Amino acid sequence: MFIAFSSGRPVRFPAASALAAALLLSGCGGPPKRVSYEPEAFDSTTTHTRSYSASEGQTCEAARRALLSQGYMLTASNIDLVTARKSFQPTGEMHVEVELRVVCASEVAKGSRTVTFVTALQDRYALKKVNNSASVGVGAIGSLSLPYSSSDDAMVKIASETLTDEGFYDRFFALLERFLKAQQGSEPSVSPATLGAPVARPLSAPPPLPVSTPPVPVMAPIPAAPPNPSAAPLPAPNAVPETQK
């Protein structure tokens, strides 16, 4: 039994009521409940980080293309930062949005290498009903509330957390590396025909004219001159005829 004095007269309260009041007072004056950060062990440096042999611009450009290929909507994009969001609808009354933030930082000590940091933030929204009451103003009385009420459906954020699933980040880094290799020249570049421009075909040199050797005229053999009977060989000088011998 608990006894209190009010205006000079004792007032009796049941013991159960006194115990409940004591517990209520102790709860209001006690220290607030602390949030446990035990899962944050700071022991992993590979879940959100990868290093590539490329410049900052090339790495963030590969990240931008990787996010666009998966249906993410870009909210920011420059040489060292890319952010994008994507919406999901798990159930009819639940809405989820995932925002990826990619930061590209150059490793000066290692030359043309870039370390990439990726963080995914997930926001969850639920469909809630908001009650609205109607009131009218009366001149003599003032404001008068009517029993009529209406409700509107609204999406209210109910949770927000950073994704820590290693498999999620491994898949993203693998896709980023594929686009990075394609950007560095392992795949053919876009041709003008892909962009709708006419293709300028190189002019081919005319075929060389066939070189023909002019025919060599065949000369007929020169006939030998017929013998001249009148032309007798002249006798040698100082020769004695055979009749005088």
Residue 21 lies in a domain: no
pLDDT given at position 102: 97
Residue 213 lies in a domain: no
Q: How many whole angstroms separate alpha carbon 224 and alpha carbon 172?
A: 102
pLDDT tens, residue order, the chain (245 aa): 444 444 445 545 455 555 555 555 555 555 666 666 666 777 778 899 999 999 999 999 999 999 999 999 999 999 999 999 999 998 888 999 999 999 999 987 766 899 999 999 999 999 887 776 655 555 556 655 555 556 677 889 999 999 999 999 999 999 999 999 998 875 444 433 333 445 455 555 666 666 555 666 656 666 666 666 555 555 555 555 555 54
Contact between 112 and 51 under an 8 Å Cβ cutoff? The reply is no
DSSP assignment string, 31-57? PPPPPP-TT-----SSSSEEEESS-HH
The tally of domains found in the chain comes to 1
pLDDT given at position 5: 46
Q: For residue 166, what are the domain limits?
A: 43-126+156-185
Residue 140 lies in a domain: no
By C-alpha distance, which of 164, 161, 170 is closest to 42?
164
pLDDT given at position 169: 96
Residue 12 lies in a domain: no
* Three-state DSSP string of 128-179: EEEEEEEEEEECCCEEEEEEEEEEEEEEEEEEEEECCCHHHHHHHHHHHHHH
Residue 242 lies in a domain: no
Contact between 127 and 153 under an 8 Å Cβ cutoff? The reply is yes
Residue 103 lies in a domain: yes
Q: Can you give the pTM of this predicted structure?
A: 0.55
Per the document, the length of the chain is 245
Q: What is the CATH number of the domain that holds 181?
A: 3.30.310.80
